[in-house]
Amino acid sequence: MSDEAATVLGIDIGGTKMAAAIVSADGEILTKDLIRTPRGGADQVFAALAELVGRVQGDLHPAAVGIGSAGPLDQQHGLVSPVNIAGWRNFPLVDRVRTLVGDVPVTLGVDGHCFALGEYWTGAGRNVDTLLGIVVSTGVGAGIVVDGKPLLGQSGNAAHLGHVVVDLDGEPCACGSYGCVETYASGPRMVARAKRRGWRAHEDVDAAVLSADAAAGDEIALAMFDDGAQALAAGIVATAVTVDLTTVVIGGGVAKAGPVLFDPVQRWVKRLAQLPFVTDLTVEPAQLDNAGLLGAARLGWDSLQASTGVRVAGVAEVNALS
């Protein structure tokens, strides 16, 4: 295998869209395409993915594949059951992707982990070794990179920051617990809470409208972003003092609200992060549009290095750390 010519295929599986890209060893996307995630049975959804992968691969033969998928997933057995892809329940995604790419390493990871890994590789975290990445959208996903490697945990599901309890008297959460970060900070939950207080109570509106109203000074909308920011900050600081990190990157649809979200998050983080090793905690917006896709490709590069022992320029620092 020639290092110069080697490429990896990254795949990003979400409930709304599926994306695939051929990525070089220094994190450059060579070709990329995406499709809307189809509704339908297991094989129908996979056929659409197979067609996408075929188109992106063309005549190339990637040396490894990395897949980031919405959870939950069973990393050990390569199975995925994305909440928003009803046709896939314990779907053997890794084995099925193997039928498309031949005998190369195929690695599966949680989408939030891939987001953090992508921002660590070429985005807002490229100058640090350890960071927390958070995706705030219809849910709150996250990933933690420690010393250049994604923190997986016992079952591969580490960093479920959206389900850190921040309010002991809080509302029920979809996970079965209550008072989770997600009950305050996800887009749909912020909208639902705002409506209960009379904001656009009878309109069909989403978090983008809420953020526009907050930016225009609407008091209820601003209060919802402040509540969401406080919950996020509590989750961030809990993670920072547990893992010992000072770099946080936030992306996702709700993060597109910009200062409406980031200003109160930074204010609350400053208030809550008091131990000396976290007082420098910084929270910044994601820099990449494709962090999840790049992070998936990075999983592929890391597994390639681990299985072949071949050092690849651009990702070699991971070997230096291991």
Alpha-carbon distances, residue 302 vs 83, 148, 265, 295 (angstroms): 27, 10, 33, 10
CA 47 – CA 60 distance, rounded (Å): 20
Helix, strand, coil abundance in the chain, percent, nearest 5: 40, 20, 40
- Which lies closer to Zn ion via its Cβ, residue 175 or residue 201? 175
Contact mark string toward Zn ion, 8..37, x via CB under 5 A:
------------------------------
91, 94, 105, 163: residue in contact with Zn ion (rule CB under 5 A): 163
Q: Which is nearer to Zn ion, 113 or 163 (CB)?
A: 163
Which residues, 6 or more positions from 288, have their beta carbon under 8 angstroms from its beta carbon? Answer: 118, 119, 122, 123, 124, 251, 294
Closest contact distance (angstroms) between CB of 144 and Zn ion is: 18
Q: Give the per-residue contact string, 109-148, with Zn ion (x = CB under 5 A; - = no).
A: ----------------------------------------
Interacting residue with Zn ion among 63, 67, 145, 173 (CB under 5 A): 173
Give the shortest CB-183-to-Zn ion separation in angstroms.
7
- Altogether, the residues listed in the chain come to a count of 322
Would you count residue 177 as binding Zn ion (CB under 5 A)?
yes
Residue placing its CB nearer to Zn ion in the complex, 53 or 254:
254
Residue 180 engages Zn ion in binding (rule: CB under 5 A): yes
Please select the residue that binds Zn ion; options are 5, 47, 60, 175, rule is CB under 5 A: 175
Distance between CA atoms of residues 310 and 105, nearest Å: 14
Query: Between residues 80 and 180, which has the closer beta carbon with respect to Zn ion?
Result: 180
Output the furthest CA–CA distance in the chain (Å, rounded): 62
Residues 180, 168: Cα–Cα separation, whole Å: 9
CB atoms within 10 A of CB 43: 12
Q: Which stretch binds Zn ion (CB under 5 A): 49-57, 174-182, 281-289, 291-299?
A: 174-182
CB of 189 to Zn ion, least distance (A): 10
Least CB distance from residue 191 to Zn ion, whole Å?
Answer: 18
Crossing angle of helices 219-243/187-196, nearest 10°? 140
Is 160 a residue that touches Zn ion (CB under 5 A)? no
Q: How far is the CB of 310 from Zn ion (least distance, A)?
A: 42
Contact (CB, 8 A) for 318 and 121: no
Least distance from Zn ion to the Cβ atom of residue 182, Å: 5
Least CB distance to Zn ion at residue 231 (A): 11
Torsion of the alpha carbons at 104, 107, 108 and 113, rounded to the nearest 10: -140
Q: What is d(CA 7, CA 91) in angstroms, rounded to the nearest whole number?
A: 26
Q: How many residues bind Zn ion (CB under 5 A)?
A: 5
- Catalog residues that contact Zn ion under the rule CB under 5 A: 163, 173, 175, 177, 180
